[in-house]
With several copies, the nearest count.
Chain A
Amino acid sequence: MAVEVKKQTQFTMVQALRSALFEEMERDENVVCLGEDIGPRGGVFLVTEGLIDRFGKDRVIDTPLAEAGIIGAALGMALRGLKPVAEIQFIDFLYPGFDNLVSEVAKMRYRSAGQFGASMVVRSPYGGGVRGGGYHSQSPEAYYVATPGLKVVVPSNPYDAKGLLISSIRDPDPVVFMEPKKIYRAVKSELPEGPYEVPLGKAAVSRAGKHVSVITFGAMVPVAWEAADKMKADGVEVEVVDMRTLQPYDTDAIMQTVAKTGHVVVLQEAPRIGGYGGEIAAFVAEQAIEYIEGPIMRVAGHDTPFPYALEKAYMPTSDRVCRAIKKTLNF
C-alpha cells in the first residue's frame, strides 16, 4: 500500500494528519499509535493508512473493540516512556473509556505531584454534517474542557491540523485532539515540507474585521466565514477568531478581539446549554464587560440529541450566525 504523504504539497486535513503521524513516528521511536482498525484498514477515515507497513505491528497497534482498553493502555504506555497516539473511531464512542480519561489520564500528573506525567494524545473525529446520526456526529468538547488536566485541541484547516497534532504529540500533557470530520477532505492546502509546530494555547484571527467578533473553532470556522461574507454586503466587517486550543484557552486573543469590536457571537455545533460557548461568553462577561456593547450571542446546535433525518434543521448555519450578529449590533 503506497503511503501518500511524501513529496506532496497540496494536503487535505486527513493527509496533513497522516503526515504528522508519519513524521513524528520517524523522528521518535517512542511514538506509537493504537486504536480500532488502524492497522491494515488504515482507520475508518484512513488517517493511519500505510503506517503499519512502515512501522509494524508493535508501533501501529490494532486493538480489540474496547475504548477503556485503548485509553487505559495508552496511559500505561505513557507512564513507561512511550508516546501513545490513541485513535477513538468516533468521539461518540469514547465513553466506555471516559473514566480512564477523566479519572486517570487527566489527573495522573496532579495526584502524583508531578512524578508521573501522561504525555499522550487521544485523536478522534467529531461533529456533524456527514449524515451520521446521533452517534457519529456529536461535539462533546464541553466534557473535556470541564476536566482540569486535559488539553483540548481542534484544528479547522490542514495546516493547523498538522502543526497542532505535532505540538500535541510533543506536549508533556494529555491532549484530546478533536478532528472535524465534516471538513476532513473539504479543502486542500499547501503545506511546508517536513514537521512544524503550531503552538497549543494560541488562538488565531482567522479573518480580521472590526464590527463584531465571531469566536469559534473547528468545522464552524468555514460557517463563520460564510456569515462574514454575507454580512459584508451590509457593510459589516466580521472578525473570525479560531480558538484552536479550547483548553487552556487564549484569553489574550479574546480580550483583544472584544476590545476591538465590542460585539461577540460565539459559535459552536454542540448544544447550547452547558457548551463551550458558554465558557467564552462567561469569560467575556466577567473580564471584558467594559468593552461590551450588545448581548453576547450564542449560536449553537439545538438542545437536543443529534438527529439523523433532520440534521439540516439541527446544524448551525451561516444564516443563523447572521441573525445573531444583527441582534447584537442592533441592540
Chain B
Amino acid sequence: MEIKPFTGKTIKCIEYDGKPAVDLTSLGIGPERYFEMYRWLVFTRAVDDRGYILVRQGRAGFYAQTAGQEASQVGSALPLQPQDWMYGDHRSQGSQLVKGLSTAEWFAHILGKSLDPTAGRSMPGHIGRNSLHIVPPSSTVGNQITEAVGTAMAQRIKKTDEVTICYFGDGATSEGDFHVGMNFAAVYGSPCILFCQNNQYAISVRLEEQTHTKTIAEKAHAYGMDGYLVDGNDVLAVYAVTKHCVDRARRGDGPALIEAYTYRYGPHSSADDDTRYRPKGELEMWRRERDPVTRFRNFLESQKLWDADKEAELLAEIKAQVAAAMEEAEKSPVPEPLSVFDHVYEKLTPHLEWERKELAAEMAAGAQG
C-alpha cells in the first residue's frame, strides 16, 4: 500500500462493510495490534458514553463527545512513542487515553476533582499530563497550532528523535493560527504532524460555508507541505497514514498535514442543539453505515479474528475498568478553595498572598456566621 499526498482520493484500508480495500500485508501489523486497536476503539466509546452521563446528571458544566471519531483519534495516537508530544483540542480524549492518560484522572477532570492532574482548573476536555507529554488543550480554537510547531522546532533544535502531533477540527483551519503554524512548520521543517479531524461541522457551520476548497488536505499546497486525506472512520488507514508521517518527521523529513474525514454523533457539546442545523437522516446514515467501531469489528470478523464471545468478554472487561475508574474519580475530593491562588506564578506574589488571607478570613467568617 503506497501512501502519497494530494492524490485527490481518500486513503482507505477497509471498506464500510469491513472488507479489506487494499493489500494489508504492507502495513506490517498482525492480529495483536488489531486487537489493541479494536480495544481502544471500544474503550474510547465506553469512556465517552460514561462521561456524557455526568453532564446529563448536572455534574459537569460542559462536555464535548467524541463518539463517531474514535478511529481518527485512536489510529493517529497509536503510532506515537512515549517521548513524542501531543496537543489535543476539546475533542481528542481518545488520543489522550491512547497516549497513556489514566481513565480515573479523565473522569476526575470531568468532575473537577483533585485527582485531575489539572486540578479542576478548566472545563472538561482540557486535561494535560506533563509526564505523558500531553499539553492541556486550549479553549481558543486553533491557537495551539503555533505552540505545537514551536515544540517541534525545539525538538529539532535540541536534536531529539521526538515528534509532536497537534489535533484540531475543520473549523480551526479558518483561524489565522492555522496558517501561521503551517507556515512556521514548513519553513523550519519541524517534526510536526498537523492532524485535522474534519467532522464536517464547526458547531453548526458546515465545511462548505467554512471554506471554498473541497478538502482540508489540499490547503497544504499553500505551504509547500504534504497534505494527506484519509478516511477518518477507518482506523487502519488513519494508523497507516499517521505512521508514515510520524516516521518521516522523525527521520527529519519535516511536517505533514493530515485530514481525517469523519463525523461526530453528538451535538457539538452539551450546550448545543444539533437538530437546528443537521439535515435529516445524515446522522443516522453515518451511524448505520460508517461507524468506525462496527466497521473495524466487521473487518476482524471477516478475517475470522473475532466472534461474539470475544466481543462479550471485551465489553465486560471494559465495563469493569470504566466503573473502577469512575469510582476512583468519585472518591477524590474537590480542590481546596484557597488553592485558587496557586500556580498563577511559580510563587505567590504579595498581592496574591494578601488576597489569599482575605479569602481565608471570609471563609472563617462564613463558617462562623
- Footprint of B on A, CB under 8 Å? 32, 36-37, 39-42, 44, 58-59, 61-66, 68-69, 71-82, 84, 92-93, 95-96, 99-100, 103-104, 108-117, 130-136, 148-149, 151, 172-173, 201, 248-249, 251-252, 272-273, 302-305, 307-310, 312-314, 319-320, 323
Contact = CB atoms under 8 A, between A and B. Distances in A.
A92 B351 contact: no
Nearest to B206: A62
B224 interface: no
A320 B120 CA distance: 24
Nearest to B162: A80
A80 B151 contact: yes
Nearest to B87: A76
Contacts of A96: 140, 142-143, 175-177
B112 to A, nearest CB: 3
Given A64-B183, A112-B121, A113-B343, A251 B351 contact: yes
Interface stretch (B9-17, B126-134, B282-290, B314-322): B126-134
A37 B203 contact: yes
Contacts of A133: 61-62, 121-123, 126, 139
B141 A76 contact: no
Contacts of B149: 69, 72-73, 76
Contact of B147 (A72, A272, A308): A72
B143 A104 contact: yes
Given A113-B117, A134-B121, A36 B140 contact: no
Contact of A116 (B128, B152, B339): B128
Nearest to A251: B350
A95 B175 CA distance: 11
Given A100-B146, A134-B122, A72 B346 contact: no
Given A99-B140, A131-B123, A77 B151 contact: yes
6 contacts: A93-B139, A114-B343, A115-B129, A131-B61, A133-B122, A309-B120
Interface residues of B, number: 83
Nearest to A320: B362
A76 B151 contact: yes
A323 B146 contact: no
Interface of B: 61-62, 85, 112-113, 116-123, 126, 128-130, 135-136, 138-155, 157-158, 164, 171-172, 174-177, 180-181, 183-184, 187, 202-205, 209-211, 271-272, 276-277, 334-335, 337-346, 349-352, 355, 359, 362, 365-366
Contact of B349 (A201, A307, A313, A320): A201
A82 B117 contact: no
Contact of B184 (A63, A82, A304): A63
Contacts of B345: 109, 149, 151, 172-173, 248
B335 A309 contact: yes
A62 B209 CA distance: 8
Given A308-B122, A319-B362, A68 B277 contact: no
A99 B143 contact: yes
Contacts of B140: 92-93, 95-96, 99, 103-104, 135
B309 to A, nearest CB: 42
Given A96-B177, A115-B130, A134-B122, 9 more contacts: A66-B176, A72-B181, A80-B150, A251-B350, A305-B344, A308-B122, A309-B112, A310-B340, A320-B362
Contacts of A109: 343-346
Contact of B209 (A64, A110, A151): A64
A46 B294 CA distance: 36
Nearest to B179: A66
B344 A303 contact: yes
Q: Which 6 A/B pairs are nearest by Cβ-Cβ distance?
A: A76-B150, A72-B146, A309-B120, A131-B61, A73-B150, A309-B112
A134 B139 CA distance: 8
Contacts of A113: 116-119, 121, 342-343
Contacts of A58: 157
Nearest to A173: B345
A151 B202 CA distance: 31
